[in-house]
Every structure is written in structure tokens, then in C-alpha cells.
Amino acid sequence: MPQVQPTPPPRRSAFDWTEAEARRRAEAGLVRTLRPRPAVSELTDLAGNDYLGLTRHPEVTAAAAEAARRWGAGATGSRLVTGTTRLHTRLEEELAAFCGFEAALVFSSGYTANLAALTALGGPGALIVSDAANHASIVDGCRLARAEAAVVPHADPEAVRKTLEAHPGRRAFAVSDSVFSVDGDRAPLEELAAACREHGAGLVVDDAHGFGVLGAGGRGALHGAGLAGDEDVVATLTLSKSLGSQGGAVLGPARVIEHLVNAARTFIFDTGLAPAATGAALASLRLIAADAGLAERARAVATALHRTLTEAGFTSARPDAAVVSVHAPGPEEALRWAADCREQGLSVGCFRPPSVPDGISRLRLTARADLTDAEIERAVATIVRTAPPGARREARAQADG
Ligand code: PMP
């Protein structure tokens, strides 16, 4: 008699639990999808971070192509082995000189630059005082630093002062975005620096959204605040926003940069920035250095977007740099507004939980120096058509309440 084999239980995968997570996300309306953008688009782009409109500048794309031809498509190794070309060192020298710092170090991204600064300057026994609204890469840097991380209320130098006061004699630094990515507001850098100075603490500032837009000719928020080159101040940057390329950098006193070369794991164990991205960033930097009007234009576009939108009843904080953040009453409205804008030829960003704290839903518009007045007018008209007056009032009531 043939033996009846018991039916095997349905095969289960170790990752079945991700389906339950996906269902939860779908029920909460928080599913994220990847949508490739067309290379050449009919859409007006107010969603990207190409603040100075340089990513397609012919000199920048030609520099990327030339760098790849000359040095290869990849960096081929860590910066300490084969990954440093003359383009990398030149970019470091010119970035430091332009922003007013002693030295600079280029990384494969702004994310790894932040991880480098926080882990190499943190460490066991150290104290890091971090603004509650800091970028995710700073949050992760604090976690990886194995230091004590004290999160203080947003843009509150007094809270930074008190926290430092409570830990006398500790090796410490405060860390803050210069311009916060969601609401586009600016950190009180002078006050933060004063609080740090009083307690012998360092200050690390992520100038991802300030570099190229703030400070004289776009030299950055720290230059604007008179803090560039200060021996207690370190800046981190991304090369992916105003420079229209890819990559990141840390700027500071030469001995701090030397320390990062020797101690920052995301420098030592990461492949160097690709030559094309390095060459493109260098070309952009030279364009910015040659034309102080670029930064001014980006700020003027942001101001114009903000003024016309608030006149139409939207709630939006006065932009300090190129990010214009518009309140929506909830995540569904923000998502619908962004989708409707897209259908009408306008690409805008949409911020909602869990990327931002609960209760925050925003359309995020980015100013670009190369936007024409007609494009600005059309963009605002599209947003006005998309968001009904009742919803605008509801968002305002929430902001006031
Ligand atoms: N810091 C801030 C404030 C940012 O907005 C970003 C980019 N979204 C980063 C760091 C990370 O830079 P990158 O994209 O070059 O990794």
C-alpha cells in the first residue's frame, strides 16, 4: 500500500511579516512608491533640490562627462587607497576656500558626511546636543556615535545652553541643520554658537539647504552668520542640492579634517565619490563663485512663491532659504494636492508621516534660481486651483490652534 504523504504546510518565508507591515501602511494611507521621472519633462519642477538650476547646466554636464572619460566611471576604491583623484583634492580646496573654512573633505553623500562628523567627533563619554527637527542622517549619526545624545526642542538655544550646563567638563558639541528640510526655517546659529562657546562645546551645522543659497554669494549659512572658519565650528554639506551633483563634504579646522581622514568609518570604508560627480560639483562650484546673483535669485524666487501663496490664503512660514513649505490639513489632502498638481504639469514635494512627525502634512516647494516669473505665476495658479479655499482655511486654523 502506498503511504499517504501528509500535505506539507504552505511554505513560509522568513520575510512574510513584511506583508502585514504593508497592509498596515496601506490602511493608514502611507504607502510610498518609486516613480521614475522622465529625462525631459513637461513638468515644472518645484520638488527637486536643484536650487540653482545647475544640474543640467552644459558646463556641469560636460565636466561630468569629461571626468568619467579621464578618470573612469567609478572611483575604484576607498579615498585612502585608489579613490582620490586630483578632482577630489581640488574640490576640497575650492570648497574650503569658497565657504571660508580651513579645510574640507569630500564624501560619497551628505548622509555619509554627517555620519562621519558625528561618529568621529562623538564617541563614548561625549555629549551630543541635537535639535529635535534635525535631518534623519543626523539622528542616525547620533545613534552610531555611541555618545550620549540629548535631543532638545527645535531651534531653542536656551535648551542647548541648559543641557551643556548640566554636563560640565564633558567633551561636547551641539548639532543642528542650518535650514530645516521640512519647514525651511533657519536655525539661530549665532545664539547656538554663543551657547556652545560659553561651555567650551563645538558646533556642527548641516548646511545642506543653506550652502549655495545663504551667505554672501551662496557661501552658506555659517559664512552668513560670521562663523565660517571658527575653530569650534564644523559644517557638513551635500553636493546634491545647490551644486546639482551628488556627494557630500565636511568643512572645518584642518586638524578636525585630519581626524576624520583617520577616524571616520564612512570615509575610510566607503568607495570615494565617483569622478563624474566630483567633476560636476567642481564645475558648479566655479559657476557659483563666478556669479553671486545665483543665490540671490533663488532666494527671490522663494520669496515670490511664498508671498503669492500666502496672499491666496495658504499657510506658509516666511522662507529663510529656498524651501517653501505649505501647510495641508492632513496627509490625504497633501497627497491629493500633489497628485492633482502633477496632473496639471507641476511637480511638488509632499511631506507626511512617518517621514515627519504626526500631525505635520506639507506641500514642499523648492525655489530654483532659473524659474521664470511666468513659471512662478503658473505654478501658484496650479496650486490655488488644486487646494480648495476651505482646506486652506482648515490648515490655517490648525497652524493657529
Ligand atoms: N542633510 C539634510 C538636511 C538633507 O536634507 C539631506 C538630503 N535630503 C542630507 C543631509 C543628505 O544628503 P545626501 O542626499 O547628499 O545624502
Query: Is the pLDDT assigned to residue 352 strictly greater than 90?
Result: no
Residues whose beta carbon lies within 6 Å of some atom of ligand 1: 109-111, 114, 135, 137, 177, 181, 206, 208-209, 238, 240, 248
**58-290 fold:** Aspartate Aminotransferase; domain 2 (3.40.640)
Contact between residue 212 and residue 295 where contact means Cβ atoms under 8 Å apart:
yes
pLDDT tens string 195-210: 999 999 999 999 999 9
Query: Is the pLDDT assigned to residue 182 strictly greater than 90?
Result: no
- Sequence-distant (6+) residues with CB within 8 A of 80 are 261, 267, 268
- The architecture in CATH of the region 292-400 reads Alpha-Beta Complex (3.90)
Average pLDDT in the 62-69 region?
98
Q: Where are the beta strands (DSSP E) in 172-319?
A: 172-177, 202-206, 233-238, 248-252
pLDDT tens string 122-132: 999 999 999 99
Question: What atom in ligand 1 is closest to the CA of residue 238?
Answer: 15
pLDDT averaged over every residue in the chain: 94
Query: Is the pLDDT assigned to residue 38 strictly greater than 80?
Result: no
Q: Look-up: residue for cell 503658473?
A: 378
CA of 179 to the centre of ligand 1 (A): 11
Percentage of residues in the chain having pLDDT higher than 70: 100
Three-state SS at 151 = strand
Question: What atom in ligand 1 is closest to the CA of residue 112?
Answer: 16
Q: Where are the beta strands (DSSP E) in 7-109?
A: 44-46, 103-107
pLDDT tens string 78-103: 999 999 999 999 999 999 999 999 99
CA of 112 to the centre of ligand 1 (A): 9
CA of 110 to the centre of ligand 1 (A): 5
Q: pLDDT band at residue 255, thresholds of 50, 70 and 90?
A: very high
List the chain domain ranges: 58-290, 292-400
Average pLDDT in the 268-275 region?
98
Question: What atom in ligand 1 is closest to the CA of residue 246?
Answer: 15
CA of 138 to the centre of ligand 1 (A): 9
CA of 208 to the centre of ligand 1 (A): 6
Give the pLDDT of residue 127.
Answer: 98
Indicate the top mutation candidate among 49, 137, 185, 239 to test ligand 1's pocket, ranked by most ligand atoms within 8 A of CB.
137
Query: Is the pLDDT assigned to residue 397 strictly greater than 90?
Result: no
Give the pLDDT of residue 209.
Answer: 98
Average pLDDT in the 1-23 region?
85
CA of 89 to the centre of ligand 1 (A): 22
Three-state SS at 114 = helix
Indicate the top mutation candidate among 55, 106, 108, 111 to test ligand 1's pocket, ranked by most ligand atoms within 8 A of CB.
111
Query: Is the pLDDT assigned to residue 39 strictly greater than 80?
Result: no
Average pLDDT in the 152-159 region?
98
Indicate the top mutation candidate among 238, 266, 356 to test ligand 1's pocket, ranked by most ligand atoms within 8 A of CB.
238
Q: pLDDT band at residue 349, thresholds of 50, 70 and 90?
A: very high
Cell of 31: 504607502
CA of 12 to the centre of ligand 1 (A): 38
- Please tell me the least confidently modeled range out of 24-28, 208-212, 220-224, 293-297: 24-28
Q: How far apart are CA 156 and CA 104, in angstroms?
A: 28
pLDDT tens string 282-331: 999 999 999 999 999 999 999 999 999 999 999 998 999 999 999 999 88
Give the pLDDT of residue 118.
Answer: 98
pTM: 0.94
Contact between residue 115 and residue 105 where contact means Cβ atoms under 8 Å apart:
no
Closest protein CA for atom 5 of ligand 1 = 181
Give the pLDDT of residue 20.
Answer: 94
Instruction: Return the closest-CA partner of residue 321 out of 218, 248, 249, 234.
Output: 218
Q: How far apart are CA 341 and CA 44, in angstroms?
A: 10
Query: Is the pLDDT assigned to residue 11 strictly greater than 90?
Result: no
